[in-house]
Amino acid sequence: MTQQASPEAPATTAGVLAVTGLRKRFGDRVAVDDVSFAVAAGETYGLLGPNGAGKTTTIRLVCGLLRADAGHVVVGGTTVSPVSTAGRGLIGYVPQDVALYPDLSARENLAFFGRLYRLRGRLLRARIDEVLELIGLADRAKEKVESFSGGMRRRLNIGAGLLHRPTLLVLDEPTVGVDPQSRHAIMESVQRFGAEGMAVLYTTHDMTEAERLCDRVGIIDHGRLAAEGTRRELVARLGERDRLTLAATGDLAAFAALCRELPGIEGADVAGTEVHLLGRDGRMLLPEVVRVAGRAGVVIRSAEVTEPDLEAVFLHLTGTALRD
């Protein structure tokens, strides 16, 4: 017998968002299977997964757009449920599909959505002004959205989700199809949200975005959370090593031999004017490598540390590229 999610689930103080044991089935297909994670104030949490992995369903459950078969979602101590506006009112949801009225101006769109959040009068006008400045559209406020570029529309879409000062901002692939300038502006805005203490749940198909923006990442596959953690924690699961590439002058063979004796260095080779080192936590190893170079009379011209990335972790856990 399927367990029904209860709107009277106990509240929690563990972070801004607490997702516990979410399950959702559509017919014979289990879309979300016992998913749990939390997001703290000021944290950007990335939810990554291949197409069909359960990412979108999880987002809809978190936002109270679907009823879970089991489990609970709590935002700011309030349970989120499709039958109650209390929890949902703490969430700013920005869907992947732009939801704006093209025949209205930017200001008029924000006014409409602000009223849906029960903002009125002077407070609404003040919040519209603040949001327009925040998303960089103050100088285009009176123009109709139909004249906006795709990137401008997406920025306005984000602005609509910020009007009521949400406790949790949910961004579902907010940079899809935008130009590089708008993409950069959106990512800068997300970084600013976190710095100002807002909790952000972020989904993306771009690993560089996840690397740059997300404090922690959860990787979902076949409806289950396969792994979560910081970038470094996830990469450590692979047991891979960092690569240090040093452009240098001097007796590089002798320098490489000395490096091989350092704790943490697992390989050292010379290739022309470069020394290639292999080891764990390359950035922590670099200061000692520089000291060894000084003792060996070697001058390091440049140093580059190449770390395993989230793409490698994703492929390892899911067996597929993020874009499939």
- The ranges assigned to domains in the chain are 17-90+166-235, 242-306
b (16+ CB within 10 A) / e for 240-261? bbbbbebebeeebeebbebbee
pLDDT at 70: 96
With tokens 């200001």, the residue in question is 107
pLDDT at 320: 62
- pLDDT below 70 — which residues of the chain? 1-14, 319-324
Q: Hey, what CATH topology would domain 242-306 get?
A: Alpha-Beta Plaits (3.30.70)
pLDDT at 10: 38
pLDDT at 324: 40
Assign domain 17-90+166-235 one CATH number from 3.40.50.300, 3.30.2290.10, 3.40.1410.10, 3.40.800.10.
Answer: 3.40.50.300
Q: Is residue 14 helix, strand or coil?
A: coil
pLDDT at 44: 96
pLDDT at 243: 86
| Stated pTM of the model | 0.77
pLDDT at 178: 83
pLDDT at 322: 52
pLDDT at 321: 53
Q: Is residue 294 helix, strand or coil?
A: helix
- How far is it, in rounded angstroms, from Cα 316 to Cα 39? 25
Q: Which of 58, 57, 62 is nearest to 79 (CA)?
A: 62
Rounded to 5°, angle at Cα 101 from 121 and 136: 70
